[in-house]
Amino acid sequence: MTGVKTTCPYCGVGCGVIAKPDGTIKGDPDHPANYGRLCSKGSALGETIDLDGRLLAPQILGRSAGWNDALDLVATKFSAAIRDHGPDSVAFYVSGQLLTEDYYVANKLMKGYIGSANIDTNSRLCMASSVAGHKRAFGTDTVPGTYEDLEQADLIVLVGSNLAWCHPVLFQRISAAKDARPEMRIVNIDPRKTATSDLADLHLQINADGDAALFNGLLRHLADTDALDQPYIDAHVNGFDAAIAAAAGDPTLSGLTADEIAQFYALWAGTKKVVTVYSQGVNQSTSGTDKVNAIINCHLATGRIGKPGMGPFSVTGQPNAMGGREVGGLANMLANHLDIENPDHRDAVQTAWSSPTICTKPGLKAVDLFQACADGKIKALWIISTNPAVSLPDADGVSAAIKNVPFTVVTDIMARTDTGDLADVLLPATGWGEKNGTVTNSERRISRQRAFLPAPAHARPDWKIICDVAQRMGFDGFGFETPADVFAEYVATTALSRDFGKDLDLTALDGADYESLEAVQWPVGGKTRFFADGGFYHPDGKARMIAVTPPAQSNGKFILNTGRNRDQWHTMTRTGKSARLGAHLAEPYVEIHPDDAAEMGVDTAELVTVYGPKGKAIFRALITTNVGRGSLFAPLHWTRQQSASGVVNSAIGPRTDPISGQPATKSTQVDAGKCPVA
């Protein structure tokens, strides 16, 4: 099909798409992420590009305004807050939906010109624990895996990952590989039976947060059965003794039987080519970073990393969570995988940007950022391309916190969102199909998003809006005319990563034609696979095994787990437009075990109220043995505007991993019962 080659804007698989202005969508047969495949969401993209509900002009206090007035007001309010209360009195909360160019300029403005690191992202909800785990183990945030590794593995362990619904094309690739090689084994570790479990040879219905106990036990088993790669450990790994000492606990604390554990350990120990894939079920936990390291420990102890068909592999939820990491779009990172805490790194970034200042300490991570709003510490807030009033834990508290900020700007493609309704200024952004830039997928592959539609009415690209505000605040360094200009500057700055012995060196792309850039996987310019030579990024060149203490098990009446449906994306601003996608699961529901439903006196489709530590939400009961006794599962997609029964994150408390700051949305202790009005 002729059309424009672009990239799907939903999950972190990053599928190539060929699109036409009439809404015809096909998978790109040449794109190495999907080779022509698409999932239900990707193939329905053409049904989401109409202008119904779009924000088409700036608004100030609910009234249409010109761009000049809106931009002047934003710049004036941010400048005044910084002047009167200091740089840390302002904050940006951005999104893994942004293109790398958007992320780059937002990060540059906040960290290099305003001088604060108060820029965090909804990717904090997605993979922050993996970032922290990678840095502890490898010395930098490197995802070592590739999609081909999944096809080459003899054992794939999917931990806390409903790949079939959340990364469907990757799941299709694994299914095809297993069809071609029936001897391939798949283990699915998940408290819930899902569509992913259906493909697995072994489904381990673990307790919520039982992963660290299970992988600690695996490490101990590997040592006890002589399955370690001692020469590899001696040459390339530090921290083995402490990690193995910490792994002495009882693996049945994971909630699995001794027999299940023995099956899994024997399979893992007896298979050389193992890829352990993990996503939100591991990351979204108060022990998320430790879980990541418990998994990586097992790969390091057996040398199963840096070689085809083996390694730990964190798959990102969002289309550009990885691009945001590359340009430092998290409150605790500088651009190019450099560290805020390192004065040499800070000086180098400031010099590269020729910026007047540089942040000197990490900023507020997502949950803390909105707590600072509630506490009156944030005087001006800019939320870009995300809906935290629905998507963050303690969603009602977050809504109140946003209302408490004296001046809030929201940039979005939609006129009405739960968050946009709280803003003083709304700025209209171009959406998918209307904007140009790059995204990086879960296997570090940088692909182009290309426009195939005109920008509607007064909508503008995010990078341009941010640069316009920066210039009005009196800052040089934002005179970019095209996203290609931004990308070129970003590529040039990655020389710093190389200079400091880090991994993100894209300078081989210097001078590359932006228009024809196609699916470039880093590392570029020579090296083809990370850690192939056993070299890591800690100063001594070795990896670190980390001593992990499994958390105590939750003992509430019910444990509420949240996640995604197959056919919806986040808060449904786009997928909600497709009747076809809406038909899959049409309204908010909670999965309940039949015995729990019977105790509550609840029948199928009756209303259930879930009472969390901060608030409550109401769902239809979906009675199923897919969840164990005492477990509940509810999807996250519905907003207050779509459902009068409240949003699932109203029932989730603001608990976070102490290292990564990632919210723990998979294991909230709640109460639940038949809805009194039912």
**d(C-alpha 618, C-alpha 626), whole Å:** 20
The nearer residue to ligand SF4, 89 or 449, going by C-beta atoms, is: 449
Choose the stretch contacting ligand SF4; rule: CB under 6 A; options: 35-43, 149-157, 229-237, 520-528.
35-43
The nearer residue to ligand SF4, 34 or 562, going by C-beta atoms, is: 34
Query: Residue 245 to residues 217, 239, 288, 300: CA-CA distances in angstroms?
Result: 11, 10, 20, 16
By CB under 6 A, is residue 41 in contact with ligand SF4?
A: yes
Quick one: 245 exposed, middle or buried, by C-beta within 10 A (0-12, 13-18, 19+)? exposed
Select the residue interacting with ligand SF4 from 32, 42, 115, 576 (CB under 6 A): 42
Select the residue interacting with ligand SF4 from 18, 25, 38, 163 (CB under 6 A): 38
User: 3-class DSSP state for residue 265?
Assistant: helix
Choose the stretch contacting ligand SF4; rule: CB under 6 A; options: 34-42, 257-265, 290-298, 484-492.
34-42
**In the complex, minimum distance from the CB of residue 35 to ligand SF4, in angstroms, rounded to a whole number:** 11
**d(C-alpha 244, C-alpha 236), whole Å:** 16
**In the complex, minimum distance from the CB of residue 487 to ligand SF4, in angstroms, rounded to a whole number:** 21
**In the complex, minimum distance from the CB of residue 10 to ligand SF4, in angstroms, rounded to a whole number:** 3
**451 contact partners, CB below 8 Å, separation of at least 6:** 4, 430, 433, 434, 435, 436
The nearer residue to ligand SF4, 43 or 645, going by C-beta atoms, is: 43
- Binding marks (x or -) toward ligand SF4, 472..511, rule CB under 6 A? ----------------------------------------
The nearer residue to ligand SF4, 42 or 420, going by C-beta atoms, is: 42
The nearer residue to ligand SF4, 436 or 441, going by C-beta atoms, is: 441
**In the complex, minimum distance from the CB of residue 126 to ligand SF4, in angstroms, rounded to a whole number:** 13
Q: Across the beta sheet with 90-94, what order do the strands follow?
A: 63-64, 59-60, 425-428, 407-412, 380-384, 90-94, 119-121
H-helix or E-strand spanning residue 622: strand 616-623
**Binding residues with ligand SF4: total (CB under 6 A):** 14
Residues 6-25 that bind ligand SF4 (CB under 6 A): 8, 10-11, 13-15
The nearer residue to ligand SF4, 527 or 580, going by C-beta atoms, is: 580
- Binding marks (x or -) toward ligand SF4, 143..182, rule CB under 6 A? ------------------------xxx-------------
Instruction: Dihedral sign for Cα 105, 109, 115, 117, please.
Output: negative
Spatial contact of 458 and 17, defined as CB atoms under 8 Å apart: no
Instruction: Dihedral sign for Cα 638, 639, 645, 649, please.
Output: positive
Longest CA span, the chain: 71
Select the residue interacting with ligand SF4 from 39, 222, 253, 524 (CB under 6 A): 39
483-493 helix and 100-107 helix, angle to the nearest 10 degrees: 70
**In the complex, minimum distance from the CB of residue 176 to ligand SF4, in angstroms, rounded to a whole number:** 14
The nearer residue to ligand SF4, 169 or 504, going by C-beta atoms, is: 169
**In the complex, minimum distance from the CB of residue 33 to ligand SF4, in angstroms, rounded to a whole number:** 7
By CB under 6 A, is residue 655 in contact with ligand SF4?
A: no
**In the complex, minimum distance from the CB of residue 635 to ligand SF4, in angstroms, rounded to a whole number:** 16
The nearer residue to ligand SF4, 15 or 358, going by C-beta atoms, is: 15
H-helix or E-strand spanning residue 102: helix 100-107
**349 contact partners, CB below 8 Å, separation of at least 6:** 111, 112, 334, 335, 336, 338, 358, 493, 496
483-493 helix and 343-353 helix, angle to the nearest 10 degrees: 140
Compute the residue count for the chain.
Answer: 678
**d(C-alpha 19, C-alpha 6), whole Å:** 7
- Give the CA count within 13 Å in the CB-facing half-sphere of 29: 3
**In the complex, minimum distance from the CB of residue 39 to ligand SF4, in angstroms, rounded to a whole number:** 3
User: 3-class DSSP state for residue 382?
Assistant: strand
H-helix or E-strand spanning residue 580: helix 579-582
The nearer residue to ligand SF4, 25 or 330, going by C-beta atoms, is: 25
The nearer residue to ligand SF4, 171 or 215, going by C-beta atoms, is: 171
**In the complex, minimum distance from the CB of residue 485 to ligand SF4, in angstroms, rounded to a whole number:** 27
**In the complex, minimum distance from the CB of residue 34 to ligand SF4, in angstroms, rounded to a whole number:** 6
By beta carbon distance, the residue nearest ligand SF4 is 42
Site residues, ligand SF4 (CB under 6 A): 8, 10-11, 13-15, 34, 38-39, 41-42, 167-169
